[in-house]
Amino acid sequence: MKKIAVIGAGSMAEALISGIIKEQLIDCKSIWVTNKTNQTKLSAFQSKYGVTITYQLDELFEEADIVILAMKPKDAADAITQIKDFLTSEMLIISVLAGVSIETIELLAEKSLSVVRAMPNTSAAIGKSATALAVNHKVSEKQILLAHKMFTTVGLTMMVDEKQLDAVTGLSGSGPAYIYYLAEAMEKSATDIGLERGLAKQLIIQTLLGAAEMLEKSTKEPQQLRKEVTSPGGTTEAGIKILEAYNVQHAFIDCIKEAAAQSKRLGTSFNADLKLI
């Protein structure tokens, strides 16, 4: 890759830029960044990562072979319309815009493009994202490998069909929030049962880390791992009975299904508002 043009300077753009530079995929000065109006944010990026910043579109796109669309989804239509004359079929367009389909990007650009849609999550900030990538038929094998390599710098990366991205959004895209919600509940319960907050937090974090690693390294299914911890008449069984009484497992299932459905609704609404599809 010769040059990356990044549109947007939010947390996801920063995480990806940080990962790319850390893994030395490209020289930092060959990463060019712009945003809507926040010059202070751009200057901070330049100071922290050594990237090149500009508001001149001709400079931004000159010789760029990769374009990353990382603006807020609500700004996507205006932004893509503004830059469409600079986009070419030779460029690889990488979008992290939730709910904005490949077809919509091409319709806004008014041309056929090589597009990769990515659904990372906020754990990209620490290199632990679970990212799904979907591509259209114009993306070459070389470009797929390149996109995969870029997102691997911020965590696990997997290929999916675009129609699966709403499900990915509901499961892993929003997933960190579900875990934080669980951690909130564990912290509140710790206070109620007499544990000091700092101590409780350390215990909760290690418990979550240990359980995640067990899931990763064990060949056993989650249900089996749970049963092995749950002795008849024991403390774990007493706790699990409360979760079952409140239908917590069903609540989590419905939670993920609803998040996936909302992702689909947002995409449909986005297109309807623009009268594109």
pLDDT tens for each residue of 13-42? 999 999 999 999 999 999 999 999 999 999
Residue 277: what pLDDT? 53
Statement to judge: residues 204 and 141 lie in one domain:
no
CATH number at residue 245: 1.10.3730.10
Statement to judge: residues 181 and 75 lie in one domain:
no
Domain count, the chain: 2
User: What is the DSSP secondary structure assignment for residue 170, as one 8-state letter?
Assistant: I
Angle among Cα 209, 97, 57 to the nearest 5 degrees reads: 125
The arithmetic mean of pLDDT across residues 61-81, rounded, is 95
Task: Give the span between the Cα atoms of 151 and 148, in whole angstroms.
Answer: 5
Residue 108: what pLDDT? 95
End residue of a domain, out of 133, 151, 167:
167
- 224-260 pLDDT, tens digit per residue, is 999 999 999 999 999 999 999 999 999 999 999 999 9
Its pTM stands at 0.92
Q: Give DSSP secondary structure letters for 186-227.
A: HHHHHHHTT--HHHHHHHHHHHHHHHHHHHHH-SS-HHHHHH
Residue 112: what pLDDT? 96
Residue 1: what pLDDT? 85
Q: Can you state the angle between helices 197-217 and 222-229, rounded to 10 degrees?
A: 130
Q: Which of 26, 27, 35 is nearest to 7 (CA)?
A: 35
Statement to judge: residues 24 and 112 lie in one domain:
yes
Q: What tokens were used for 69?
A: 């669309």
What is the percentage of the chain residues whose pLDDT exceeds 90?
Answer: 94
Tell me if 52 is assigned to some domain: yes
CATH number at residue 138: 3.40.50.720
- 100-111 pLDDT, tens digit per residue, is 999 999 999 999
Tell me if 273 is assigned to some domain: no
Q: What tokens were used for 238?
A: 């007493």
Statement to judge: residues 38 and 83 lie in one domain:
yes
Residue 194 dihedral angles phi and psi, to the nearest 5°:
95, 20
User: What is the DSSP secondary structure assignment for residue 114, as one 8-state letter?
Assistant: E
Tell me if 53 is assigned to some domain: yes
Tell me if 141 is assigned to some domain: yes
The sign one gets for the Cα dihedral 13, 86, 32, 138 is: positive
Q: What are the b/e assignments for 145-162, b being 16+ CB within 10 Å?
A: ebbeebbbbbbebeeeeb
Domain that includes residue 15, residue range: 4-167
Residue 151: pLDDT band by 50, 70, 90 thresholds? very high
